[in-house]
Amino acid sequence: MALTESLIAGIILGKGDYKLIGAYVTSPLNWAVITGTNTKYKAITDLKGQKMGISRPGFGSQVMALVMALQQKKL
């Protein structure tokens, strides 16, 4: 049993000699893209070509940033 985000990060990095077969704990976590109050960015699409920071490399925020990029076809 392990935290899902670290397992997914390992798979993304090509270090996963394991397979996810189920979930033990699920939760409705919400993820957000946060900017300063005086920003020119008004939508996710405004971020194309920009650099983004994440709170914890190799964990959920990085995984969700990759998911968002894939959904927006930015990778």
Q: Is the dihedral of CA 39, 28, 69, 45 positive or negative?
A: negative
- Position 25 scores a pLDDT of 67
Task: Please say if the pLDDT value at position 65 is more than 70.
Answer: yes
Query: Within its chain, how far is the Cα of 34 from the centroid?
Result: 14
Whole-model pTM: value is 0.53
Q: Return all residues near 35 (Cβ < 8 A) that are at least 6 apart.
A: 41
HSE value, Cβ hemisphere, 13 Å, CA-based, for 14: 0
What is the rounded distance in angstroms from the CA atom of residue 53 to the CA atom of residue 56? 9
- Position 24 scores a pLDDT of 67
Confidence of residue 74 (pLDDT cuts 50, 70, 90): low
Identify the top-confidence range among 27-36, 56-65, 66-75: 56-65
